[in-house]
Amino acid sequence: MLAQIGDEINQKWDNADTVIIHRISKLDTSDIAVVIAGSTPHRKDTIEASSYAMERLKEIVPIWKKEH
């Protein structure tokens, strides 16, 4: 699903390179779970593509949270 989001970004923004990482393991509340790194020729496009990636991740990636 993360690769699909990367493909969507490549279709929407020219010359975009994106890496999306979602950690899977036991995490504390304050731990960073998602990292999105992007590069485009224009800063505004990078910010928009990163925001798009986060929203799509929330929509389509099956992430289950379990409290311990």
Fold assignment, 2-60: Aldehyde Oxidoreductase; domain 3 (3.90.1170)
Residue 4 has pLDDT above 80, yes or no: yes
The ranges assigned to domains in the chain are: 2-60
Chain segment 16-25, per-residue pLDDT in tens = 999 999 988 8
Residue 2 has pLDDT above 80, yes or no: yes
Chain segment 26-65, per-residue pLDDT in tens = 888 889 989 999 999 999 999 999 999 999 999 999 877 6
Which stretches of the chain are DSSP H helices? 2-12, 43-60
Residue 68 has pLDDT above 80, yes or no: no
Say what the pLDDT of residue 26 is. 84
Which stretches of 13-65 are DSSP H helices? 43-60
Q: Return contacts of 58-67, CB within 8 angstroms, 24+ apart.
A: 60/1, 60/4, 60/5, 61/1, 61/2, 61/5, 61/22, 62/1, 63/22
